[in-house]
Chains A and B, each alone.
Chain A
């Protein structure tokens, strides 16, 4: 049946990527596919509420003829913008088995003091209304 010897059987739910961002009260957690990326090739740049992750994929190519490609192997170039301000100085990153995980702490919200001025209320005579049933 032609040159294609393989027939990758598809699952009912084809989910090729397990990249994910989650959020809890104190931090964001990001998981990215970084297969083929060497640790010293990763750069993580952070500002008040933006994160830019870039990395080159060291060559995953072979001397062989490519006949079917799904994984682009172009490395990483991702920008994230967060609703909350992030604590850029305390980002933790780990590369393990080709998975890049980042923990991005949220900046603690500043407490803004609110004062309420009370106003003296004047109380007048109350009028009782008799209810007739």
Chain B
């Protein structure tokens, strides 16, 4: 079984978010970059599948060499090989096109993406991939059992859950639930040592990369004004303020 896990490199959750170059670029000075948390659930799930039925796990990332550490970490966690497509990830379509291009020449039974990356929150790459490769797309995936050439999956849908069945190959957008947080694999000493011998191949993007959608400007939300404190003995005042000032009730 061949599994592909798509990895994004994102600023750590507690990173300050600031912009430079006249608010046209994210300021990544002193930022710690991590594997996108949703992708980590997918990577651990891939490892569970490998341990249960046997598989080769490839991780792929679209970006420049500053993100190699994140790929090495994925190898240390348990992936077998890493691919970096050397192409700036300017928008989701470009990322998906690069990954799809790689998939045309390498067949995979399951392609995992995290539900969305915590920086842009677009969640578009798995859908674009499914479209480009003409494969079934299961999003919001919180459980997956492989049975031979098909899979039974559980999805979180708007306001509920779905159980569905689909034959392989397929594309899964995964999130918490695919594995439990306490079961997430982390790099062991052995993992880190063996990661050095695992391949990290850099390939150049072969396709014409349309750049028709781009961010032209970033802004930060206005800071909230200072919190108005209300005495616990005068809760009625809160109700008044919510009605008169905030105009909500």
Q: Do A and B come from one complex?
A: no
| A residues adjacent to B (C-beta < 8 A) | none
